[in-house]
Amino acid sequence: GQQVQQSPSSLVLQEGENAELQCNFSSTATQLQWFYQSPGGSLVSLLSNPSGTKHTGRLTSTTVTKERRSSLHISSSQTTDSGTYLCAISTNAYKVIFGKGTHLHVLP
């Protein structure tokens, strides 16, 4: 089955609203990363957060390792935040497993 599940699959917000993205995973993760993929396809690393809470700018990620879940909170969303947010975990030394992503669309 799907090792990394993200929800919701898509989300539409008005500019200024907050977004809460979820990631659940079925295996023990040694590392967890959140990525942003632009509509053009390029990949940007947002946060690396295998456990606990991390902040950067308007982003906050909380990972509860024992419960195998992580969240990404985007505060005061902007139209430029539109794109796909990917959650990815490492379960061993050699690869990262990606979720299918949450497609975020922020309306002006």
Partner 1 sequence: GPKVLQIPSHQIIDMGQMVTLNCDPVSNHLYFYWYKQILGQQMEFLVNFYNGKVMEKSKLFKDQFSVERPDGSYFTLKIQPTALEDSAVYFCASSPGTGAYEQYFGPGTRLTVL
| Closer residue to partner 1 (CB): 33 or 77 | 33
Tally of CA atoms within 13 A in the half-sphere of 11 that contains its CB = 26
Query: How many angstroms separate the CA atoms of 9 and 70, rounded?
Result: 15
Give the footprint of partner 1 on residues 56-85 (CB under 8 A).
none
User: For partner 1, which stretch binds (CB under 8 A), given 7-15, 29-37, 63-71, 72-80?
Assistant: 29-37
With a CB cutoff of 8 Å and minimum separation 6, the contacts of 103 are: 9, 10, 11, 83, 84
Q: Which of 59, 86, 104, 106 binds partner 1 (CB under 8 A)?
A: 86
Sign of the C-alpha dihedral computed for residues 33, 38, 39 and 42 taken in this order: negative
Residue 10 in contact with partner 1, rule: CB under 8 A: no
* One residue of 19, 23, 25, 35 binding partner 1 per CB under 8 A: 35
Q: Is the peptide bond before 8 cis (omega within 30 degrees of 0)?
A: yes
Give the tokens for residue 45.
Answer: 């690393």
Check residue 31 for interaction with partner 1 (CB under 8 A): yes
Candidates 25, 36, 63, 101; binder of partner 1 (CB under 8 A) is: 101
Residues that bind partner 1 (CB under 8 A): 30-31, 33, 35, 41-43, 45, 48, 50, 86, 88, 90, 92-101
